[in-house]
Structure 1
């Protein structure tokens, strides 16, 4: 998506000066794109001024984030922004994986993708804003943590002192990820075996392993598996689910992620509002902003478990990439909430002839 700015910046440092002063006409991500640089490079332009470069075992740093107290966290991708307020707690980070399992802050971290970290101070209409911001090897934002009025600034400074990089350079050694490989041909997949093993699933966490075993892409699996397990819905399904969840007081889970982080909300939602192409959840402690015009397909997916079928709503862009997922809140070891299940099962199916194998 091309971004046109009202101001053309001559250098990243000029752009960062306006951004950090709160006078820029646009967001860092959009300004960086318009300048043909990465967001990480734009933030790094402030190193030596109001940006401090960090150097850490990122998993170790994450395990100390509880010291900050109440914070606001943001995880986003090209299509959705997921914001939560809460406390880092119940943290585990070992090797390539990290998990935060507090209800308010619930994260899955893929730490091999974490390349750059910064402590950032900027100005806003409400005063000074302090944050930790993390980026992947391509310079794309993975996760951001903003202090709130309830945060502990002394703990923030302690972490900066502990993890401040020896060399405070604005130069970043960027790397490009290999492009995702195209899915294998449909006729190379043993569909009968895939169906049989799908039907035999005992836990939703076995699903990724099932796809790997059969060398099957996620979207491809939905398209091939048949209506027993996956059905394509109309593009309005997301709006319908969010609005009905408010009306019927159904507690839901909302997942949004990128290469380095998946962020999860669990609970009831109160306010759903459309603004231009965006559909938003605007609740105390949880905001979601999602581009409805970026939704190419929505699938209703059923995954068997030992506790019964788990039903998810999975949202894809026009590259057949999954960028958001919704399900009903469920206690471990308990069946799925029938109110959630009935709601999504009653959604309108896509009118086009199904590509799924029957």
Structure 2
């Protein structure tokens, strides 16, 4: 039985409902990143109040602190974090790349970021940990490759990703938890096709497109997405990992992607940048000093309803944590508004017109995507 009900299409774009253990969620959807169980600076209830239905947490960090066993004893990830919705845990594959792990056929070995001890992560470990954590969606362990990389490296990591996907599938025992496989292959079309065929042959509840927005151009990102989507089953959700750039998010939706996540909206907020319909806004700029207007006149988020740009400018200079909290709330509201507009445009058959509008503002890259930990 399919876990995804597609109710509307516009070209390759589609919207519908994804049925998870804890909730039925609207697609396409954007997933905020709560690396250690909470979005940095933003309480879970405020994230839920914005309308988000799923949070992403990081398996690598949670298994180290506080530990999967502790989370299990407290009722699982949703109960532990207090989030009113569903949850997704990544497998730790991104940390294999970002932390310079020593990779073998068996798994990956890298340093614990908290105490420096050696940590080993195998596909079986990743499944056991994610089942203990109790997320609604677990990810198979993969090998993410920094781009550009030599073809020999891409092929080796592709082979391991396929082998680890089979082991992840075999080790996964919780029938109520959905398991997604991850397609790799860099920006090489043939390798992407090969990985897509391998992962779909194993059979998963959903399929993620990994290893993108890690150094390649936007054009190469979208071409890789197009190649993979063509080989994925229509009745399963498609998840583009680590992408939050409004341009990429919109164009990937038009190609048929259903799910996205990214740390960028909150990360750039902590560095003083707001996302607006006119593009990015640096609140530290002198032009915002003493301005008694919101970040956006047409934004209904609690920040724009209560806080002036003048105050945000002041806080960005003297209290960066408070500024980061307020800007994070606004940027999450912007991201939710964007995905809602995309969803509505699919239902109304107007996604091409919306892409034109988005291209006018976001045609130049301003957000660096590609990270699953914050």
TM-score for the superposition, normalised by structure 1: 0.23
Higher relative strand content:
1
Give the number of the structure whose alpha-carbon radius of gyration is greater. Answer: 1
TM-score, normalised by the number of residues in structure 2: 0.23
Highest RCO, 1 vs 2 (Cα 8 Å, sep ≥ 6): 2
